[in-house]
Amino acid sequence: MDKEIIIKKTEEYIKKRFKGESTGHGWWHIQRVLKMALKIAEKENTGSSKNVDLFVVRLAALLHDIADWKFNSGDDSVGSKMGEELLERLGVDKKTISSVCEIVKNISFRGGTVNSEMKTIEGKIVQDADRLDAMGAIGIARAFAYGGLRNREIYNPDIKPRECKSFEEYKNYKGTTINHFYEKILLLKDKMNTKTGKKIAEERHKFMENFLEEFFKEWE
């Protein structure tokens, strides 16, 4: 099993599949998650976390959005199934496939009170990288791109943010894009797994708070 060839073929498949995607979940998002995951892994690969499997990290980062439930009728099992099929075709060993698919299946935010805890350091790293891309300047841009796709209002003062207590409720809820900050994006800072992720999240969280302060100032 030549790991570099497998990574290259996986990357080629994902790049082709998501080229031109316009909702913030495309190839450039995936590439940023991969780069951030490797950055976090480098920082975290010490002490008790010294045995981070970078092959799993790279594959999981590349495949984490292969079939996001948001674009597959709310089915959160499609991504792990597609990832498994692809990795089997590429000759990846069963243990690695299992590790990667476990990350793909559980990476998504599932509502304010729903726990999406990762069991492995690799999962925690990739989840942090994905969540960081939903924060800061790029996170703001992605939120409005996706909101436009879903025909969401930018803001409506008559619609208040709400906390979803189940994944089913979260999937079916339709709010405004500004509310989405309070229902998800501003919650991510406190859901980071790694020390490195938490530090970066603090900076991006502050940027979003400043953006919202300016937004409401202009709104009034």
**What CA–CA distance (Å, rounded) separates 60 from 163?**
29
Q: Which CATH class is domain 3-219?
A: mainly alpha
> Is pLDDT above 80 for 73?
no
- For 193-215, letters b (16+ CB in 10 Å) and e give bbebbeebbeebbeebeeebeee
Which amino acid, 198?
A: K
Which alpha helices (DSSP H) does 94-164 contain, by range?
94-106, 121-132, 136-149
Q: Predicted confidence band at 50 (pLDDT cuts at 50, 70, 90)?
A: low
Q: What is the pLDDT of residue 41?
A: 95
Element housing 91 (H / E)? none
> Is pLDDT above 70 for 177?
yes
**What CA–CA distance (Å, rounded) separates 197 from 124?**
9
Q: What is the pLDDT of residue 49?
A: 55
Q: What is the pLDDT of residue 219?
A: 96
Question: How confident is the prediction for the chain on average, in pLDDT?
Answer: 88
Q: Quick: pLDDT tens for 116-163.
A: 789 999 999 999 999 999 999 999 999 999 999 888 999 999 998 877
Span 50-77, mean pLDDT?
80
Which of 169, 180, 100 has its CA nearest to residue 135? Answer: 180
Tell me the domain boundaries of the chain: 3-219
Which of 159, 164, 192 has its CA nearest to residue 175? Answer: 159
CA–chain centroid gap for 27, Å, is: 13
